[in-house]
Amino acid sequence: MPRRTIIHLDMDAFFASVEQQCNPRLRRKPVAVVGRGHRTVITTSSYEARACGVKTGMNTREALRCCPGIIFVEADNARYTHTCAEFAALCREFTPLVEIFSVDEVFLDVSGSLKLFNSARAIASGIKKRLRQQTGLTCSAGIAPNKLLAKLASTMGKPDGLVAIGPADTPRFLENLPVSRLCGIGKKLEQKLAAMGITTCGQLGRTPPALLRQRFGIIGEALDHMGRGEDDSPVIPLERAPEPCSVGHSMTLSRNIGRRDLLAVHLLRLSEMVGRRTRRGGFSGKTVTLTLRYADFSTFSRQRSVSAPICASRDIYLVAKSILDAIRLAQSVRLVGVSLSRLVQPPRQIPLFPEQRRQQELTRAMDTINNRFGDFTVTWANLGFLDEYTGVISPAWRPRGTRKIDF
């Protein structure tokens, strides 16, 4: 494979930094960004709060115990998604190969841009400087021959850092690095590797590939490469990103619900959101999956397939409801999710029966109005009493296409 130069850029304490930039009174203070409602956790916190031990995922009580002076700020997702889109546009001034990895991380393949901009360091420094000038925000940059090492490098110099790893530095860099630092190795995999006596990347790289394949199957092959710092995955810009395999939405309820009729209302809202996004992408799907999380946090999913692909919100809801009706609820429910998978792009076909044509026209009319004036401008009467859905930014969010959600 020809030699590549990859840059990974990671915004520093993104949401909290945006809020501190917006409101000068929050600057240099411990700030934590939270969701709406009382059932919320810390989405991210400023470095001042992190110094007191505040971590993402803590609830507000725990955060207050760590840091009594902490200031909670409600998330404004429109600010963060706009900033992400602007950041990606800025990166595209240096290379067309920009992959949005998440709302606050991008990969750049600058292999073809080095002659124009002298060096990868110059590109990374230029982007950091422009970002600070345009928004007041900072990011950390990692430069390496591949995405795996570039992402590792960007974490080494946070905040506002710039770290480069050359091919010759890789073995020394990885030797004593804990395996959990590699993107793709979570707690469970870390424990399984530890059970084999593998705790560092150096040890992982020296483990016989056959042993890893025997223990982990096809993932073993990937682990072998990761241990040696090898990664030939390309940087995929948005235009070339594959279409989604499924479209789904889930929500944590403001209070646990045991009544089926109330759960059904939330199913209807989620089905409408799934249906809107599916139709916008020109897709239909054949499998509906219902996910429930009980009050004790046990989570399970059930799915049902239909003979013909569907995309109408009502049809998705009816299938999801039929799944719910077949479940004996053991406890009250705190989270509900609906997703549509086995997506296809079916040919346009006029329905045979008048009732189906009427439903299709109704869906089209609702979509036209909601596209013009905003989601849920016209909606099902049952949803009238529900609070406005604010939602969180999914890791799969992108500024364009089926994965785009407006906040």
Partner 1 sequence: MQEHSRRAQCAPFRQNPRTERAHARRVHAMVAFIHAEITVGAVFKNGRAFPRWFLYRGRKISVKEVTYFWEKRQGALIVFCFAVTDGANLYSLSFRPEKLAWSLEAVEDS
Residues that bind partner 1 (CB under 8 A): 18, 21-25, 34, 36-38, 60-61, 64, 68-72, 74, 78-79, 82-83, 135-136, 370-375, 377, 406-407
Going by their DSSP bridges, the two strands 333-344 and 246-257 should be labelled as antiparallel
Instruction: For residues 5 and 141, give the distance between their C-alpha atoms in angstroms, rounded to a whole number.
Output: 13
Going by their DSSP bridges, the two strands 105-109 and 139-144 should be labelled as unpaired
Phi first, then psi, for residue 387 (nearest 5°) are: -65, 155
Closer by beta carbon to partner 1, 362 or else 378: 378
Closer by beta carbon to partner 1, 135 or else 303: 135
Q: Which residues contact 239 (CB under 8 A, 6 or more apart)?
A: none
How many other C-beta atoms are found inside a 10 Å radius of the C-beta of residue 44?
25
With DSSP H G I counted as helix, E B as strand and the rest as coil, what are the percentages for the chain, rounded to 5?
Answer: 45, 20, 35
Closer by beta carbon to partner 1, 64 or else 392: 64
Closer by beta carbon to partner 1, 7 or else 70: 70
* List of long-range contacts for 169-172, beta carbons under 8 Å, 24+ apart: 170/145, 170/228, 170/229, 171/202, 171/205, 171/229
Query: What is the per-residue burial (b if ≥16 Cβ within 10 Å, else e) of 256-285?
Result: ebeeeeebbbbbbbbbbbbbbbbbebebbb
My answer on whether omega of the bond before 159 falls inside 30° of 0, hence cis, is yes
Q: Which residues contact 370 (CB under 8 A, 6 or more apart)?
A: 276, 376, 377, 378, 379
User: What's the closest the beta carbon of residue 88 comes to partner 1, in angstroms?
Assistant: 14
Question: Closest Cα to residue 315, out of 300, 325, 305?
Answer: 305
Q: Three-class SS of residue 357?
A: helix
Q: In what order do the strands lie in the sheet with 42-45?
A: 42-45, 31-34, 71-74
Closer by beta carbon to partner 1, 21 or else 303: 21
Q: Which of 62, 105, 221, 361 is an active site residue?
A: 105
Closer by beta carbon to partner 1, 155 or else 370: 370
CB 70 within 8 A of CB 54: yes
Active site residue 105: yes
User: What's the closest the beta carbon of residue 238 comes to partner 1, in angstroms?
Assistant: 18
User: What's the closest the beta carbon of residue 317 comes to partner 1, in angstroms?
Assistant: 23
CA end-to-end span of the chain, whole Å?
41
Print the SS3 string covering 3-54.
Answer: CCCEEEEEECCHHHHHHHHHCHHHCCCCEEEECCCCCCEEEEECHHHHCCCC
Closer by beta carbon to partner 1, 325 or else 387: 387
The catalytic site residues sit at 105
